[in-house]
Amino acid sequence: MASTTKIMSSLIALEMGADDTLVTVTDEMIRAEGTSMGLKGGDSVSTLSLVKGMLLSSGNDAANATAFLMAGGIDPFVELMNKRAQEIGMKNTHFVTPSGLDADGHYSTAYDMAILADDAIKNQTFLNICSSKSVDVFFGSPPYKRILNNHNKLLSICDGVVGVKTGFTKKSGRCLVSAMKKDGKSLIAVTLAAPNDWEDHMKLYDYALSVAKSVSLFCNLDNVYLKVVGGQDSKVGVIFADNIFYTTLNSNFTYNYKIYIKQFEYAPVLKGETVGRVDFYCCDGKLIKSVDLVAAKDVLSIHG
């Protein structure tokens, strides 16, 4: 899957708190062949800029530096990548490098990479970065402004595309993971070892948009309450935090759901406070959406 690997590397870095704080990279940290964001030993750079360097410039130097700075080295960082892969259901994937350079035992499937992309674009910072055609970053010794351009050509030639990541090595061929948000529909396309990936993805989206439908997920919350201890009311109703839509290509799509609510909460409980969630499942039992439930109104303490 080549540098589409960096989807996971970037997501892990963001979830570990990548930010604008400047740190210094060493020659060991950035030692990697292939594409680069242009780092040199002794440069000051932020971990957030490294994420941008991974997602836009496909910097192998940025991926290796991220592993050292966030986890102390490549091996412990890769352990985090594989753990996360298992958590989100990537059953036929194993990471060996944070960059995606060829290595024995480094592999994935198109389906698994779609699972990863779906998870990654739920992170708003990740989505903001991978959907940018270019970004400003500051690094160097001393740092100065650079402009990184996104390798993902689809952002410019296919309306509605919002990411995600390109990849290429001689062994893997051209790899592309992309995502589209259009007409109320969310779609993901993945091709591995596809010489005409730009055209392939546009054709896939043309087809998917013609047959996909956006389903509004629903469950009855009329008799669902959170118990409140020490409040002016003994319970409070709950509502969805957001409208819930799911894009499907299945014309006979059906779903089930499970509701989870805290056993109780001490007053005060504020309107909009998260108090539970609803998990929606396909008929085959696969989790397709998890949505927060929030308090429908304020419940003040009896003590004022």
The string of DSSP codes covering 223-238 is: T-EEEEESBSSSEEEE
Catalytic: which of 3, 46, 132, 172? 3
Task: Write the CA distances from 182 to 162, 218, 302, integer angstroms.
Answer: 10, 22, 48
- Give every strand in the sheet of 287-295, ordered side by side: 255-261, 274-282, 287-295, 235-240, 225-229, 265-266
Write down the H helix ranges in 30-153: 47-55, 60-71, 74-87, 110-120, 124-130
Find the catalytic residue in 6, 52, 165, 185: 6
52 is catalytic: no
Residue of 9, 10, 58, 132 marked catalytic: 58
> Scanning the structure block, which residue is given the tokens 């242009």?
38
Query: Position 303: which residue type?
Result: H
For tokens 């805290």, what's the residue? 262
**Is residue 3 flagged as an active site residue?**
yes
* 302 Cβ neighbours under 8 A, 6+ residues apart: 230, 231, 232, 267
- Rg (Cα) of the chain, in Å, rounded? 22
**How many helices and strands, by DSSP H and E, does the chain display?**
8, 15
Contact 219, 278 (CB under 8 A): yes
Sheet hosting strand 143-149, strand order edge to edge: 22-24, 44-46, 134-140, 143-149
DSSP-assigned letters across all residues of 114-147 = HHHHHHHTTSHHHHHHHT-SEEEEEEETTEEEEE
Q: Tell whether the torsion through CA atoms of 145, 149, 155 and 156 is positive or negative.
A: positive
Main-chain dihedrals φ then ψ at residue 4, nearest 5 degrees: -65, -15
44 tagged catalytic: no
User: Known catalytic residues?
Assistant: 3, 6, 58
